[in-house]
Structure 1
Amino acid sequence: MNNSDVHLVYVLLDGVGDLPHPDLDGKTPLEAANTPSLDKIASNGTIGEVISVGKGIAPESDIAVFNMLGYKFDHADYAGRGVIEAIGIGIDFKDGDLALRGNFSTLNDKDIIIDRRAGRHIEKEDALGVAKEIEEKIKFSNPETSVVVSPTIGHRVTVRIRTKSEKLSSRITNTDPAYSNIGGMGVAKEVGNELKVESCTALEETEDAKATSKIVNEFSEQSIKILRESSINKKRTEQGKKELSCILLRDAGNKYPKVVPINERYEMNFSCIVDMPVELGISEVLKMRAFEAGGLTDYEEKAKVAAKAMETENAIYVHLKGPDEFGHDGDAIGKMKNIEEIDQRFFKTLLENIDSDKVAIIISADHSTPCINKGHSDDPVPLLVSGNFIENDGTTRMTEEQAKKGKIGLLQGAEVITKSLEIIKSQT
């Protein structure tokens, strides 16, 4: 049996992994949630655990998803999340430009960060307005330097800096104090309560890196002043909303990634349903056809489109964002309820629209986002491979605890698809 004979729906529940929480009587959100559809899928499959990027690494979503799709980068080979998001939203980007992921954030009068996401839910009009102000008012010491500031979803923003006569370097530190830049890969740091915008420094003794860090610091310093004087922020304060005080920058990149397209890698038609800029960038980089399937929480539509895709595709990757945001907010009950909603609206609809005799379902996560941490962690996440033709290993639920006892064992993220295909092909 060849890969091209397989049909599968591969679902990543963003940040769904968690740790026991006191608000859930010592259970994880997956354990506490009422999930009849997931339970049905689990009882029809085999389970295991996944460390998406590596032991001791609390990864960002971009590098975690690449790994979960089978692409493991050496640090030096990774383009950086900034580049992936720039590609995802269609910013004009070329080798030698600098692209960074940013967060609109809120500072107090002592320049201490009081909200890394400026309330998270930011009106598009306000985000676009302050971005335009920064682009128009900023004055770099090198007159050949220009900047594009592109808000995307909520607090998220992508920044592209270009200096006509110079190639900019990605070997610089983040200004976002919550993440380290390790060879272009963002890794969450353990941080205290009083965070400040960090100065960007060169990670190597080259003129390019030093010049680039200077440009980034000019951007940070001037944009804080521009935002402080912005009439949009004055209006937000009057309305009781959090100010967009600064843009925290991370995950610099300066080159377009070169990878083997996903269809070549697996010798199958691999498509996707994704929403976030980073996910759209990954689909573009991997040359993966992206299906339109409504907005972030149009779960029924996504399930129906995924099922319909099985008529033309071998595989469809579906990324559901919901659980991660509740993890970042420390809302264990909200995360549990979101899992229940996904179970009822997505997985129930999916089961109603596929033939489980022919189509396998793979479910996992890109990383764990424990509510008690309010951030990503390196904890293993469950992996479930299911179908009428898959021998059940005693699994009854997709939970962190059952995953430890599953027949699949412990995998690295980059092994998931290959291992899942082995399981599916060996039992059909």
Structure 2
Amino acid sequence: MTKVKTIYILLDGIGDLPHPDLNYLTPLEAAYTPYLDKIARHGVSGKVTSVGEGIAPQSDIAVFNMLGYNFKDMEYFGRGVVECIGCGIDFIEGDLALRGNFATIDTSNNRIIDRRAGRNISKEDSNAICNLIREKVKLHDIEYSIEPTIGHRVVLRFRRRDIKLGQNITNTDPAYEKVNGIGIALDTSKSDLFVAKSLANDEISKISSDIVNDFSDQVIKILDNCQINKDRESKGLLPINCILLRDAGNRYPKVSDINEKYNLKFASLVDMPVEIGISKIVGMKSYEAGDTNEYELKAKILLDILNDYDLIYVHIKGPDEFGHDGDARGKKRNIEEIDKHFFRNISWGLEKLDNQQRVQFIICGDHSTPCLKKAHTDDPIPLLVSGDGLQADGTSRYTEGNAERGKLGKIYGYKVIDKALEIFKGSNNQMN
């Protein structure tokens, strides 16, 4: 009996808009991607709105939707909680968890100079900053944990033993707002940003907003002109003198197990705490594969574990960061590197499989991050469903243009896996 395996790849922030630096092509359209094109020629295309019309989602809620979990009829538990779980921070019901960014501000007026402190933060610097905060920041009746994760990212958890902390507070990061627990990116391309004060939306959350504001104020005072930042500035680097906080949550997630949801054995190949947290929450065994840009290692591990699972979800971070930086040429180069070092090695590895194993692909993104906007948007994401025996629709490449013409049309993120499995079932029945 032929074993059918599905590889589900989400390219973070892959969707884009035509850019003048690329002769008004998108980075996907401008990139040379022969191995991705080879997969595309055996498939069908369409467009995906990952969360909802008019919603520019963060990666956490986008990935949940792309895995089939739709929160439109219930309040989402928040990215802070997901990242706490992903990086191993002890979290219990009633704690307050938040995602943070190390940032650079003008301390004279709290204007934000760079929301990611130049994206040039070593593990040594992030650990030193967190150690300094642990030593110096004191909060009355509050225990807190702070953990740096990757680059500019940091996770916080606050706990007060005698009460449950409320989650209905606003972000101090003005680039995002929180609606029904979901973090939504705002278009800040034409505006100055200032560190915001967190405001409570109900009485029980007032304590939480006071905690967040007290913590934030102390962090700015402690980091301003500290030795770590003096050393950074002597090297021409931006100081890390603020933490922007967002996406507060106080509930432990309860969702259906993904293996039972689809009656398939799932695994994930992921790097970031948010994707590791998602894997834990939905019940996927997760594997890590070096740094975010170690594409050959990711391909190797994927091939190593392929025989043990029915569907493997792979999250590749690279394109999103170039979108945030507004670097269209860099995003194009990164897509070419992913094709050369990930998709090529997957292609070579699959050629060595025996005839008793057939592999099919779902390739999409979690959201669009256009270089012109330097932020997540609600622009549709190209979707590719591909496999042997599938009746192709003339798709020749994985691009926005091919997606526009593809026979799948436009679908929502939470329907992608179901739709792909339906297509695969039809083609597999024909082949059998």
Give me the TM-score of the superposition, normalised by structure 2: 0.95
The letter for the 1-side match of 2:267 is S
2:420 aligned with 1:393, yes or no? no
Which amino acid counterpart does residue 63 of structure 1 have in structure 2?
I
How far apart, CA to CA, are the structure 2 residues paired with 1:124 and 1:312? 34
Matched with 2:192 is: 194
Alignment of 1:140-151 (within 5 A): 140=139, 143-151=140-148
1:78 corresponds to: 76
1:42 aligns with 2:40: yes
Aligned to 1:104: 102
Out of 276, 301, 323, the position equivalent to 1:280 is: 276
Displacement of 1:136 in angstroms is 2.1
Q: Deviations over 1:271-329 (max 9, x none)?
A: 01000010110011111011232321121221122223221110100000000000000
**C-alpha distance in 2, partners of 1:287/1:274?**
14
Residue by residue over 1:92-138, the C-alpha shift from the partner in whole angstroms, topping out at 9 and shown as x without a partner, is 11010000000000012432110000011201111111212212222
- Greater alpha carbon shift after TM alignment, 233-242 vs 50-59: 233-242
Q: Quick one: structure 1 residues 67 and 5, their matched pair in 2 at CA, closer, same or farther if it must change by over 3 Å? A: farther
Contact 1:75/1:185, CA 8 A, preserved across alignment: no
Confirm or deny: 8 A CA contact 1:101 1:157 kept in the other structure: yes
Q: Does 1:176 align with 2:173?
A: yes
| Cα separation, 2, equivalents of 1:308 and 1:386 | 21
**In structure 1, how many angstroms separate the alpha carbons of the residues matched to 2:130 and 2:180?**
28
How many pairs does the alignment contain? 422
Identity between Structure 1 and Structure 2 (%): 55
Q: Residues 135-174 of structure 1 correspond to what in structure 2 (within 5 A)?
A: 135-140=134-139, 143-174=140-171
Q: What are the within-5 Å matches in structure 2 for residues 194-233 of structure 1?
A: 194-204=192-202, 206=203, 208-233=204-229
> Which of 317, 326, 337 is the matching residue for 2:333?
337
Does the CA contact (< 8 Å) of 1:268 and 1:315 recur in 2? yes
Q: How does 1:20-419 map to 2 (within 5 A)?
A: 20-74=18-72, 76-108=74-106, 109-140=108-139, 143-191=140-188, 192-204=190-202, 206=203, 208-354=204-350, 355=353, 358-419=358-419
- Deviations 1:158-200 (CA, angstroms, capped at 9, x unpaired): 0111111111111000000000011221101122432111010
Looking at structure 2, the residues matched to 239 and 309 of structure 1 have their Cα atoms a distance apart, in angstroms, of 43
- Following the alignment from structure 2 to structure 1, what is the Cα–Cα distance between the partners of residues 297 and 142? 44
Deviating above 6 A after TM superposition, structure 1's stretches of 4 or more consecutive aligned residues are: none
- 1:76 CA displacement: 4.4
Write the distance in 2 (CA, Å) between the matches of 1:121 and 1:285.
31
- Whole-angstrom distance in 1 between the partners of 2:155 and 2:289: 24
Letter in 1 for 2:261: R
The 3-state SS of whatever aligns with 1:319 is strand
1-side partners of 2:290 and 2:134: how far apart?
31
Task: Name the SS of the counterpart of 1:195 in structure 2.
Answer: coil
1:10-43 deviation per Cα after TM superposition (whole angstroms, max 9, x unaligned)? 0000001000000000100000001111111111
Does the Cα contact within 8 Å between 1:75 and 1:182 map onto a contact in 2?
A: no
Paired letter, 1:112: R
DSSP 3-state at the match of 2:94? coil
Q: Distance in 1 between matches of 2:136 and 2:266?
A: 44
User: TM-score, normalised on structure 1?
Assistant: 0.96
Name the CA distance, whole Å, in 2 between partners of 1:366 and 1:414: 11
1:378-399: CA deviations, max 9, x gaps? 0000110111211110110111
Q: Are the equivalent residues in 1 in contact too, given 2:97–2:155 (CA < 8 A)?
A: yes
Unaligned runs of 5+ in 2: none
Post-superposition Cα deviations, 1:230-253, rounded to whole Å, max 9, x if no partner, equal 221122222221111100000001
How far the C-alpha of 1:229 sits from its partner, in A, is 4.3
Matched AA of 2:63:
V
Q: Equivalents in 1 of 2:133, 2:347: separation in Å?
A: 48
Q: Which amino acid aligns with 1:411?
A: I
User: Which ranges of structure 1 fall in alignment gaps of 5 or more residues?
Assistant: none
Q: How far did 1:409 drift?
A: 1.2
